Structure 1
């Protein structure tokens, strides 16, 4: 691969990391604001406003089902680009973050199940602690500046992207309601047309987005969660400019242009809005016993201990057996800190929690578990990274 292509890949990853990290800092502030508002004198207005209907859907459903489809579209674009032309474009690059992501999903799920075996109705939430919030985690890393090598930031971003792919599969496979076969057939027709556009070399983004709207409506009516339409649409957006050319990096390709156009709106508006609409939990009348509810403790323990054991344990196994190497210039203490940061599961965990326990009193337990586990993971990871690294001097020109 030429130096020019290498430069483009590094530039794309740098833009991605910058926008995700900055968005993560905003998400932290918005999440805190939501909790303050939910426990203030305007709490009734906050909760009532979320359930006001605007046309066929409530405000909260417009945010969670429609706007978050754009978030999933961006996730799908990032997954496709990284798999075909980025940090995950070869098996050598995929093995460490890929295996760590799998381990980081399996262990939290097992821990949650262990705490909730006594109540089978709670087992629907097994996937809640399996997610890593890339914006939040990179936001914490950005606060540490040059104390953390860039290779670890790329490792965390790659792991979280694969983690997102796993979450998409889990949502489609385990959190789908009754299926409307007519709507599924309509969605299949739209998908076929998207495939034809891609194979024909059509590069007009608005054509894909127009069909994407039709796809979202069909998927929404099918009973499959509508946000998955965003991922499917992303897979159809071309990464190449010339029909028949290899899927190679081109900053002017439809995929790159759409991804760049969506990064800031998603990072600075859609995800913070989702966080504000869903992080608010009222502690009025809540006793400390909620902290030891099986759902709460299963999620918190899964995020804090499950992610650490799953990610770090998998990395250790691969490195010790010679199948992979630690990211460049990273120490084991730093890898432990990053493994802890993987326990920040805010956005996707909240999203899965809403699917697992719709219209249920368990949602407060879910939110408290996510907030507790994510906060503990973030603070522990940041403290360990700060204690195990020293600021590297900036070289003089």
Structure 2
């Protein structure tokens, strides 16, 4: 009896390998906008701190100024409009990003999605555990356990822009996927744990509005004048239902079609995201930061961050919990899924990106406001802890990334090189025989040009001087 033929082992999946060309182009476009928005966000946060600590009365008066229709339950403060209104735009973009990742990006393949999803979940669980342990042992409030669980992709990219580090696209994609999964679970945390009461009539109205929104999309109805008023109605009903109004933005983002049909250069979701992302990154998030990051800072207040268990838990959650959670989750997932790290990178690079993910600004500030609503003193201290923790994480990651900056720059330049100037990076054409023919012709033209210049230079040098 012949021995059974052994089944060959399945090839090991490469972790942080080269992206496909469409994914690389999408990533480059998305991160370009987020980087600019991140710098604006950074400026807005600094402006808020300066304003709140120099003209505190004016800052608080404007933040607390109320406007809006009282009859619709929407007479809100400026700060409230920024947190519940403008951030709905940010979460709408997050919803579209998540939908695209699920149907066309890295998350559509369960095996490829396992690593970033596990890393993101561990990167949210570990900070919550760190915060809880600090407050249980220190006698503090565990209400803020969710504050250090979020990652702010825009702020992280702003840090990369400031320190001048050109990360390879695989690391940037890993960071973006982490942030997308992070946003999804942050949304669930807000919806589940920070809803005190529910107005079921308003909630039913919001669901009816979402159903109409979905049916209009599926029917192919076009026109912003149809969807924008409907979106505002859905947002208002969701706000009055007691569930955080930003959930409406996520729900509508998830309904958009993000797969391309024949003849389409971009899907409707990608097109709308391209239009809305600059509004989100350049206006909505910075305005939220302007009216949420303005906390009074003093030597005593900063020292208290490290003595009060709630604030210490936030700082340690962001700096230690995020880094250990993401790195540890990634390493364990890679070990058990037999994923092989890209040979051009090292685990030190994953650790550096994990520390960069400790920058939890926008959503952390929002959750801090929700967790300690009604206690302005603690709320401000939590915000100060978020700012300080994010600053420490940014500084730590900046140092770690700078240590490998030459490697990153070489990999980035190799990814961007396009010697034949056809708009496609050469690294994606190396297996194409026509590419090698084009490159040979290009090199021959350059060599001929150099020979011609050399002949002209030789002729000029051998020509006798003209008489005076």
Q: TM-score, normalised by structure 2?
A: 0.78
Equivalent in the alignment of 2:426? none
Equivalent in the alignment of 1:344? 359
Return the alpha-carbon distance in structure 2 between the equivalents of residues 6 and 285 of structure 1.
Answer: 50
Instruction: Give the secondary structure class of the aligned counterpart of 1:390.
Output: helix
Instruction: Give the secondary structure class of the aligned counterpart of 1:292.
Output: coil
Q: Is the 8 A contact 1:293 1:365 kept in 2?
A: no
Cα offset, 1:234, TM superposition: 1.0
1:198 aligns to 2:217 (yes or no): yes
Cα offset, 1:252, TM superposition: 3.9
Q: Is the 8 A contact 2:305 2:385 kept in 1?
A: no
Cα offset, 1:6, TM superposition: 5.0
1:52 aligns to 2:68 (yes or no): no
Q: Is the 8 A contact 2:92 2:253 kept in 1?
A: yes
Equivalent in the alignment of 1:156? 175
Instruction: Give the secondary structure class of the aligned counterpart of 1:88.
Output: helix
Q: Is the 8 A contact 2:315 2:389 kept in 1?
A: yes
CA 250–154 in structure 1, closer or farther in 2 if over 3 Å, else same = farther
Instruction: Give the secondary structure class of the aligned counterpart of 1:95.
Output: helix
| CA shift digits 1:136-184 (9 cap, x unpaired) | 1122223455653221011001111110001011111111121111111
Cα offset, 1:34, TM superposition: 1.4
Return the alpha-carbon distance in structure 2 between the equivalents of residues 52 and 327 of structure 1.
Answer: 53
Matches within 5 A, 1:316-335: 316-326=331-341, 329-335=344-350
1:266 pairs with 280, 283, 308, which one? 280
Equivalent in the alignment of 1:122? 141
Q: Is the 8 A contact 1:240 1:250 kept in 2?
A: no
Equivalent in the alignment of 2:464? none
Tell me whether 101-110 or 12-21 shows the greater mean CA deviation: 12-21
Return the alpha-carbon distance in structure 1 between the equivalents of residues 390 and 27 of structure 2.
Answer: 25
Cα offset, 1:87, TM superposition: 2.8
Corresponding residue pairs, total: 387
Q: Is the 8 A contact 2:165 2:401 kept in 1?
A: no
Tell me whether 342-351 or 380-389 shows the greater mean CA deviation: 380-389
CA 250–157 in structure 1, closer or farther in 2 if over 3 Å, else same = farther
2:45 pairs with 8, 31, 35, which one? 31
Cα offset, 1:120, TM superposition: 7.9
Larger radius of gyration: 2
Cα offset, 1:205, TM superposition: 4.6
| CA shift digits 1:217-266 (9 cap, x unpaired) | 11111000111110111122233576xx8xxx944432122101111111
Return the alpha-carbon distance in structure 2 between the equivalents of residues 104 and 161 of structure 1.
Answer: 13
1:110 aligns to 2:129 (yes or no): yes
Cα offset, 1:118, TM superposition: 5.9
> CA RMSD of the aligned region, Å?
2.3
Return the alpha-carbon distance in structure 2 between the equivalents of residues 120 and 189 of structure 1.
Answer: 45
CA 368–6 in structure 1, closer or farther in 2 if over 3 Å, else same = same
Return the alpha-carbon distance in structure 2 between the equivalents of residues 227 and 120 of structure 1.
Answer: 33
Matches within 5 A, 1:229-244: 229-240=248-259
Q: Is the 8 A contact 1:134 1:160 kept in 2?
A: yes
Q: Is the 8 A contact 2:100 2:259 kept in 1?
A: no
**Gap regions ≥5 residues in structure 2:** 1-18, 69-74, 420-468
| CA shift digits 1:327-365 (9 cap, x unpaired) | 573211111111101100011100111111112121122
Return the alpha-carbon distance in structure 2 between the equivalents of residues 183 and 259 of structure 1.
Answer: 28
1:281 aligns to 2:300 (yes or no): no
Equivalent in the alignment of 1:311? 326
Matches within 5 A, 1:195-234: 195-234=214-253
Equivalent in the alignment of 1:177? 196
Q: TM-score, normalised by structure 1?
A: 0.91
Equivalent in the alignment of 1:167? 186
1:378 pairs with 394, 404, 409, which one? 394
CA 7–208 in structure 1, closer or farther in 2 if over 3 Å, else same = farther
CA 88–101 in structure 1, closer or farther in 2 if over 3 Å, else same = same
| CA shift digits 1:269-293 (9 cap, x unpaired) | 1111111111111125844234311
